[in-house]
Amino acid sequence: MRRNGSLLVIDDEEIMREILEALLTREGYDVRLAASGAEGIDLAKSVPIDAAIVDVMMPGMDGIAVLDELKKHDDELPVLMITAFASVENAISAMKRGAFDYITKPFKNDEVLVVVRNALERRQLIAENTALRQNLQAQQQKFAGIIGRSPRMKQVFDLIIQAAPSRSTILITGESGTGKELVARAIHNNSARSDRAFVTVNSGNLPSDLLESTLFGHVKGAFTGAVYPKKGLCDLADKGSIFFDEIGNIPLETQAKLLRVMQEREFMRLGGMETIKVDVRIIAATNCDLKEMVDEGSFREDLYYRLHVINVYLPPLRERKDDIPVLVHHFLEKYSEENRKPGIELTADALDLLMDYDWPGNVRELENVIERAVVLTTGARIDADLIPENVRSSPTFQIPRFVVPPEGISFKDVITNVEKRLIESTLEAAGGVQKRAAELLRIKPTTLNEMIKRYEIGPRRKKNGIRPDEGGEQESKPSSTRPRSAFPATELTRD
Ligand SMILES: Nc1ncnc2c1ncn2[C@@H]1O[C@H](COP(=O)(O)OP(=O)(O)OP(=O)(O)O)[C@@H](O)[C@H]1O
Ligand SMILES: [Mg+2]
């Protein structure tokens, strides 16, 4: 029985074998004996052992040759050499060839036990390390290489694990470049469907009949040019998962058919009459506000609720900056390998720049910056000069310095005015698109819209309104009684 570990003793002298067997068995080790090198190697190949004790001086195959053979079979096996005091040289050359330690004859029992214990500890450590590494690799594969250690990403990982096994439809939301496609893959990989197909549909801007023929196939003669019947992606994804990248792009007519696949698990080919049964798990991603699209009438409400059963939201990178260093490390490894430039590192200054930046393009943008830097660098270190200009000098927001006039000023008026100007400047930065402006200000579009109405911010005003270079002068005069110096408009802009 294995208690403390199993040891293999290889010694041609019977008396030595007996002494070691008695000593080590008493300590609770499982001991195997071999009288020659060849016998020992056979044993090592047929039973699991944790460490070997090998006599250096043996007739036939000597201890050093045995050591070499044992290492060939199991590189991590700790091998202890026993040598006569007179031939320590041999022992040292054995150490150079990878022996773990050596014991000189005559030896004290304690001495042997200490060395054996060390060897087994080392063995244990290596085993744990290997298991850990394998575990990590498996984890990485399961999570489709999604890197992240922030609490927000941990929540995402938990949700993936919880949601993956069911057949429920999953909607993945988040800004562009946050990793929605990776999450879709991870959900598939962690589901019982993982050995079946994962099919991606790039809904793009395909007209609805082309999209439908791609999804559901068509019958012969369904349209001009449909000479042969054709199967669709839904057939391909049967028993697997189908991923709709940007579900918001799917035309209304096709949405109805998709709903049918979800609810009834069936579809019809384009131009066909026959219903076809299918078992697919639907995963969808979007960076649009589907609820808003429902309100506008461009997305079916019933489909929206069907999709919304489980929602995985990927926070933008700027809200989980503690992921930046691990992502940088990951991309450095990826691109230094790809470009055969091993061991490239980022300087602390360069990393600081990356930490300060807001990453509107999220992880995709970070990945591009690292790839570029790795390609361009001539040395092993990437310094701030290899970080693109726009990342280095990202516009920072400045709170204006208020000068309160001696007679005082109405707090409410100031706040109102600041709010108004902030909205105007943001609308301008967003090219007049309210939805984008709301995103920039991290408020709901409806809230923004209310404020625009309340402050009577009109499109004309937006056009002629505050410009960083104009200082907003024409504007502040008629509309206010406060001294202009209280809040110079220029400082409220992004530049
Ligand atoms: N957490 C992450 N770990 C490692 N790589 C990531 C991570 N998130 C995103 N990426 C990488 O960033 C790029 C963009 O990711 P992905 O295509 O999944 O984003 P997306 O949210 O689908 O964007 P879009 O809405 O533009 O389609 C990919 O190259 C992806 O490998
Ligand atoms: Mg995508």
Measured from the Cα of 153, ligand 1's closest atom is 1
Task: Confirm if 2 and 24 have CB atoms less than 8 A apart.
Answer: no
- The pLDDT, as a whole number, for residue 205 is 75
Distance 375 CA to ligand 1 centre (A): 20
* 39 CB-near residues (< 8 Å, 6+ apart): 10
Query: Sign (positive/negative) of CA torsion 273, 277, 280, 284?
Result: positive
Say whether pLDDT at 461 is over 60.
no
* DSSP E strands, 56-169: 79-84, 101-105
Say whether pLDDT at 404 is over 90.
no
Q: Whose CA is nearest to atom 24 of ligand 1?
A: 176
Distance 147 CA to ligand 1 centre (A): 10
Q: Which two tokens stand for residue 159?
A: 């949700």
State the Cα–Cα distance between residues 264 and 286, nearest whole angstrom: 24
pLDDT digits (tens, 9 = 90+) for 58-103: 999 999 999 999 999 998 899 999 988 767 788 888 888 999 999 9
More confident residue, 484 or 40: 40
- The pLDDT, as a whole number, for residue 481 is 37
Distance 87 CA to ligand 1 centre (A): 62
State the Cα–Cα distance between residues 31 and 20, nearest whole angstrom: 9
Distance 134 CA to ligand 2 centre (A): 29
pLDDT digits (tens, 9 = 90+) for 352-377: 999 999 999 999 999 999 999 999 99
- The pLDDT, as a whole number, for residue 492 is 37
* 90 CB-near residues (< 8 Å, 6+ apart): 56, 57, 63, 64, 81, 83
Which of 359, 364, 372 has the most ligand 1 atoms within 8 A of CB, as the residue to mutate?
364
- Mean pLDDT (whole number) for 320-346: 93
State the Cα–Cα distance between residues 254 and 210, nearest whole angstrom: 10
Task: Confirm if 320 and 175 have CB atoms less than 8 A apart.
Answer: no
pLDDT digits (tens, 9 = 90+) for 249-277: 999 999 999 999 999 999 999 999 999 99
Ligand 1, residues at Cβ distance < 6 Å: 145-148, 174, 176-182, 285, 287, 327, 330, 363-364, 367
- The pLDDT, as a whole number, for residue 428 is 85
Which of 363, 368, 369 has the most ligand 1 atoms within 8 A of CB, as the residue to mutate?
363
The DSSP call for residue 87 is G
Say whether pLDDT at 469 is over 70.
no
State the Cα–Cα distance between residues 387 and 324, nearest whole angstrom: 15
- The pLDDT, as a whole number, for residue 395 is 61
- Mean pLDDT (whole number) for 287-299: 92
In terms of pTM, does the model score above 0.85? no
202: confidence class by pLDDT, cuts 50, 70, 90: confident
